[in-house]
Amino acid sequence: METQPKSTYNIPAEAALDVLGGKWKTLILCHLSYGSKRTNELKKAMPGITQKMLTQQLRELENDGIIFRTVYNQVPPKVVYEMTEVGESLKGILDQLCEWGEKFIQGQFPKTKKSTPNGAL
């Protein structure tokens, strides 16, 4: 009966992965790191994502205090997402991720394979 209460992380990174671990979350944050964006802008930036997933992942990021949501009460609704301070603290990681991805694409690295579809970082 000494089971750990619940979410005891074996390594701090797990906590980060809990937050960033959605299929699209990291990607969304990357886009938001360039500046606030409307829902539709995000959708266009990520052609593969569905409306449902977008909203869902955004909600979770919001609940985790990573992003902030602003609703403009006007007739064609307008909703803007932007990073919170906590979110900003992730910028370093996100930037590096992009940089690294660039290098990887440029084939600096030999094998460019792919397998696990799964999700998101």
Partner DNA sequence: CGGAATCCTGCACGATACTG
Partner DNA sequence: CAGTATCGTGCAGGATTCCG
Provide the binding-site residues for DNA, judged by CB under 7 A: 22-23, 38-40, 43, 48-55, 58-59, 69, 71, 76-79, 116-120
Closest CA to 78 of 70, 68, 90, 87: 70
3-state secondary structure of 111: coil
| CA atoms of 71 and 10, how far apart (whole Å) | 38
52 touches a second copy by CB under 8 A: no
Contact 120, 23 (CB under 8 A): yes
Q: Which of 54, 57, 81, 83 binds a second copy (CB under 8 A)?
A: 57
Q: Which among DNA, a second copy, none contacts residue 55 (Cβ within 5 to 8 A by kind)? A: DNA
73 vs 112, beta carbon nearer a second copy: 112
Distance, CA of 30 to CA of 28 (rounded, Å)? 5
Q: What stretches of the chain adopt beta strand conformation (E)? A: 37-38, 67-72, 78-83
42 binds a second copy (CB under 8 A): no
Query: Which listed option, DNA, a second copy, none, makes contact with residue 36 (CB within 5 to 8 Å by class)?
Result: none
Measure the CA–CA gap between 81 and 22, rounded to whole angstroms: 17
Contact residues toward a second copy (CB under 8 A) are 7, 9-23, 25-27, 30-31, 45-47, 56-57, 60, 63-65, 86, 89-90, 92-94, 96-105, 109-116, 118-121
